[in-house]
């Protein structure tokens, strides 16, 4: 039986498989976060965050960019970030304000709409440094919140940092 080469620029290459793994990790993250298993949710989220970095690195370094990856990678990013913030609204006396989450989700919809429109007109709309910074701040904020809930919920300073990071997430 012939083996499939996952290093070629196909829909089933390594970066795209990592993106699919991140989607599955998002489901694990959502389930455990919904039931307040913060330690497991934290682990799943951080692992997903690492696979996001790794799939992009491998795709660029090895020239494994695909149309599937251009669509699936930002889609999965939005699923895990928006879903994470939405579920976090219900936890810990609403330290994550619902209005901030609405702004974050609305911005993601807006950016995705602009991306879709631009690409429908043949204008490339790839990731920028601002977009990467936004994703980092969002992921860091979710990680910090999960870490606080899992390990440091007794520290008032953690709640203050979460509020600061939520403002940064809304602004960036």
pLDDT of residue 9: 59
∠94-102-46 over CA atoms, to 5°?
A: 70
pLDDT of residue 5: 54
Contact call for residues 12 and 6 (beta carbons, < 8 A): yes
Contact call for residues 41 and 90 (beta carbons, < 8 A): no
- The residues near 164 (Cβ < 8 Å, ≥ 6 apart) are none
Contact call for residues 52 and 73 (beta carbons, < 8 A): yes
One digit per residue, the tens of pLDDT, for the chain of length 172 reads 445 555 565 768 888 999 999 999 999 999 999 999 999 999 999 999 999 899 888 888 988 888 888 888 889 999 999 999 999 998 876 788 999 999 999 999 998 888 888 878 887 777 778 888 888 999 999 999 999 988 887 677 888 888 899 999 999 8
Domains and CATH numbers, the chain: 14-171 (1.20.120.1760)
d(CA 133, CA 131): 5
Among 91, 87, 131, residue whose Cα is nearest residue 110 = 131
Q: What is the dihedral of CA 88, 159, 143, 146, to 10 degrees?
A: -60
d(CA 152, CA 147): 7
d(CA 32, CA 61): 34
Task: Write down the pTM of the prediction.
Answer: 0.85
Among 72, 95, 66, residue whose Cα is nearest residue 153 = 95
User: What SS3 class is residue 66?
Assistant: coil
pLDDT of residue 127: 72
pLDDT of residue 51: 93
Q: Long-range contact list for 44-50, CB < 8 A, 24+ apart?
A: 45/80, 45/84, 45/139, 45/142, 45/143, 45/146, 46/143, 48/22, 48/80, 49/139, 49/143
d(CA 26, CA 81): 9
120 CB neighbour count, 10 Å cutoff: 8
pLDDT of residue 124: 78
């Amino acid at each position: 039986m012939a083996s499939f080469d996952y290093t070629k620029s196909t829909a089933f290459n390594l970066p795209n498989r990592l993106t699919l793994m991140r989607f599955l990790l998002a489901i694990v993250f959502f389930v455990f976060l919904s039931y307040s298993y913060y330690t497991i949710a934290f682990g799943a989220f951080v692992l997903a965050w690492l696979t996001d970095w790794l799939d992009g690195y491998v795709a660029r370094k090895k020239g494994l960019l695909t149309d599937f990856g251009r669509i699936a990678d930002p889609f999965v990013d939005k699923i895990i970030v928006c879903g994470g913030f939405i579920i976090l609204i219900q936890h810990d006396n609403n330290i994550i304000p619902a209005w901030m989450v609405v702004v974050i989700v609305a911005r993601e919809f807006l950016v995705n709409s602009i991306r879709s429109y631009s690409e429908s007109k043949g204008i490339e709309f790839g990731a920028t440094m601002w977009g990467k910074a936004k994703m980092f701040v969002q992921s860091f904020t979710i990680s910090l919140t999960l870490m606080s809930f899992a390990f440091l919920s007794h520290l008032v300073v953690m709640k203050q940092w979460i509020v600061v990071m939520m403002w940064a997430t809304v602004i960036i």
